[in-house]
Amino acid sequence: MDGNRLFESDGIRKTISPENSRSSIPSDAKKILSILIKNADLEMPAAVTENASSVTFTPNISSFLPTPMKMSESASAMWACIGLFASAICRERYNAGEPKRIVVDVYSATLMLCSVFLFQINGKIFTESQVAPRAIHLDRGLNRETYRNMVSNIYKTMDNRYFHLHGSLNATPTLQMLDLPEHRPDLQGNEHIEAIKDIYRAVVAKRDSMSLEVESNERWLQPGATCRTVDEYAATSHGRLNIEEPLYMIYKSQEQLPPTPWPNSQMSGRPLAGIRVLDLTKVIAGPTVTRVLALMGADVLRVSTDTQPDALPFIADGQLGKRDANINLKTSEGKRQLDDLLKEADVVVNSYRPGVFERLGLGRNWAHELARRRGKGIIYCRENCYGWKGEWSGRAGYQPISDCVTGASWEQGKFLGLDEPVMPLFPNSDSQTGLTGGIAIMQALYRRASEGGSYNVDIALNTFNNWLVREVGLHDKQTQASLRALHSGFLPRHDTGFFEMAPMVLETIKKSNGTGPGQLWDRARFTTGIIRWGVAEEEAEYLDWRRIVSVDSKAGEREVVFDLESGSCMPGSDKARWV
């Protein structure tokens, strides 16, 4: 495993580049949409699937991302499902007409996968903007320190494997495990990244992958995973169970509860207007679920706590369309506040490590009991890394861990001609797991209105990655070769970090697909809005999710409306109550 590029000598990078040698995004998106709606395990209702023929994907462009995975295509198909569910709910709630066209902008659907990197204030990303000093208290784990941040990366082990260390939102336990200093102020700044990597390379090279995996997860309760191939993962006892899990699971609880009518709303056309969503999420996947629901018109209230670290680079984009209340759930008053919110919630989304809320006495079963007492069903969605069956289901994890465990990172490395794993593009599995959660919750709400009962929804990063690699499949060899040629300067390695990779990807796709009108980076795909981060009337620019999918009725009117009620807000900006 010397990391040499395996195809440099065959000339493929230089000779294959025509766009017509790459597969069509709309064509593949249609196929993936068919996979989704025909999947018997997902049990999508006929009111959704029977209108799939109305879906159009535009513009008609070829695949362009430097990856073997069909990311643009699957994201576009997911957004089509969101449009189909939105239309079905609006027909049920507002007597809207049958959809004439459901249009997905595949460029916007692709950009949504890196939405967290596109939030800017006065032309600067959030962590480099004038707002950052006001938000610095959120980074209680000091991940802004370059040395601590770079512990989360792939390094080569003594047994010639690759291991993804991870510091989570607080790298101290991982550094203690490695017997390294907790802070290195002398190594602050990007100019020291290689020197920092050398420190971690040297330490990890003295450890075998299995001991690191067991110790990080079981002794220090930190994420960490050996990078496995797709087949290696399937051969593990956990993997054998996990690859059998469907993309998402919905199962009914409290069957005796009657149907819950859709709430009365003055906002006609908003699919989830009046639906109250309690957001117990962090980082990217969970906040994406609740942002989709906010886009559908739901009242989303996120619960944060100033006693725990938050993911500073991602938080501003993830807060769009939401309110946020600061509650310390380890206090009796905090538990009472959450109980009051649960009593009136329609949906709960929880992306904390499995067991955290159960240990607080505030778990899923308690939410269902409160729903039973009030006589009205609740939807409880939980999201994790490893899936909900198997011995690793309780482990902590993030997108890079899931990518390494399931084999996605090895597929990315092989695509680049390397005999090593490489982090896949964007927070792809994070973002698309969030989309699956939005779809599943809309489906559960649709069932609650017609069948009654409460519902559990299970989603996971691993189940998405399994679905993408195994069921959707990779690009064909010709497409992969053409994509390599298109991005010949895109040359990441196994230890290219998360925040190094993002600008590399953005730069290469700007070159390949343009910044002008009608192109990928057309400024019309972005919008501005007022934010609440400590200064009145402050504005930010961000990707406009309202443009990703649109629904036109046969009456020629826009009867399904996607919009956000508010801009981004600082955690703790609001009272712990429903409006």
DSSP result, 409-460: HHHHHHHTT-SS--PPSTTHHHHHHHHHHHHHHHHHHHHHHHH-SEEEEEEE
Residue 562 and residue 117 in contact, taking contact as beta carbons nearer than 8 Å = no
What does the alpha-carbon distance between residue 72 and residue 22 come to, in Å, rounded to a whole number?
A: 13
Q: What structural domains and CATH numbers belong to the chain?
A: 25-134+475-552 (no CATH), 143-240+405-410 (3.30.1540.10), 244-389+434-460 (3.40.50.10540)
Give pLDDT, residue 19: 58
DSSP string, 23-92: -BHHHHHHHHHHHHHT-TTT---HHHHTTGGGEEEES--B--SSSSB-HHHHHHHHHHHHHHHHHHHHHH
Q: How far apart are CA 443 and CA 248, in angstroms?
A: 11
Q: What is the SS3 assignment for 191?
A: helix
Reference 285, options 386, 173, 378; nearest CA is: 386
Residues 6+ apart with CB under 8 A from 370: 339, 342, 343, 378
100 phi/psi in degrees, rounded to 5: -80, -45
For 116, phi then psi, to 5°, come to -65, -20
Q: From CA 537, how far away is CA 539, in angstroms rounded?
A: 6
Structure confidence at residue 1 (pLDDT): 39
Alpha carbon distance 232, 211 (integer Å): 17
pLDDT score of 528: 97
Token pair of 133, please?
């000093």
122 Rama sector, left if φ>0, alpha if ψ -120 to 50, beta otherwise: left
> Residue holding tokens 């990807």?
505
Question: Helix, strand, coil shares of the chain as percentages rounded to 5?
Answer: 45, 15, 40
Residue partners of 4: CB distance under 8 A and separation at least 6: 418, 419
| Closest to 409 (Cα-Cα) out of 460, 465, 464 | 465
Helix (H) or strand (E) holding 500, with range, is: helix 498-513
Q: How far apart are CA 173 and CA 113, in angstroms?
A: 30
What are 379's strand-pairing partners? 347, 455
| β-pair partners for 101 | 552
Residue whose C-alpha is closest to residue 245's, from 41, 38, 401: 41
Give the tokens for residue 267: 């906002």
DSSP 569: B
pLDDT by position in tens, the chain (length 579): 344 444 433 333 333 345 567 889 999 999 999 999 999 999 999 999 999 999 999 999 999 999 999 999 999 999 999 999 999 999 999 999 999 999 999 999 999 999 999 999 999 999 999 999 999 999 999 999 999 999 999 999 999 999 999 999 999 999 999 999 999 999 999 999 999 999 999 999 999 999 999 999 999 999 999 999 999 999 999 999 999 999 999 999 999 999 999 999 877 899 999 999 999 999 999 999 999 999 999 999 999 999 999 999 999 999 999 999 999 999 999 999 999 999 999 999 999 999 999 999 999 999 999 999 999 999 999 999 999 999 999 999 999 999 999 999 999 999 999 999 999 998 999 999 999 999 999 999 999 999 999 999 999 999 999 999 999 999 999 999 999 999 999 999 999 999 999 999 999 999 999 999 999 999 999 999 999 999 999 999 999 999 999 999 876 677 899 999 899 999 999 999 999
Instruction: Please work out, in degrees rounded to the nearest 5, the angle formed at the alpha carbon of residue 577 by the alpha carbons of 259 and 540.
Output: 105
- Tell me how far apart the alpha carbons of residues 269 and 258 are, in angstroms, rounded to a whole number: 25
Question: What pLDDT is stored for residue 267 in this prediction?
Answer: 79
Contact 564, 571 (CB under 8 A): no
What per-residue confidence (pLDDT) applies to 20? 62
Compute the distance between CA of residue 245 and CA of residue 459 in angstroms, rounded to an integer: 10
Please provide residue 7's backbone torsions phi and psi, each rounded to the nearest 5 degrees: -125, 10
Count CB atoms within 10 A of the CB of residue 40: 7
Q: Which residue has the tokens 């496995």?
A: 228
Q: How far apart are CA 377 and CA 448, in angstroms?
A: 7
Q: Is 280 helix (H, G, I), strand (E, B) or coil?
A: strand
Question: What tokens does 235 get?
Answer: 């051969």
The sign of the CA dihedral 88, 90, 93, 98 is: negative
Strand order in the sheet with 99-105: 55-58, 99-105, 549-553
Neighbours of 20 (CB within 10 A): 8
User: Tokens 């510091």 map to which residue?
Assistant: 167
And the tokens for 479? 């497409």
Q: Which amino acid is at 46?
A: A
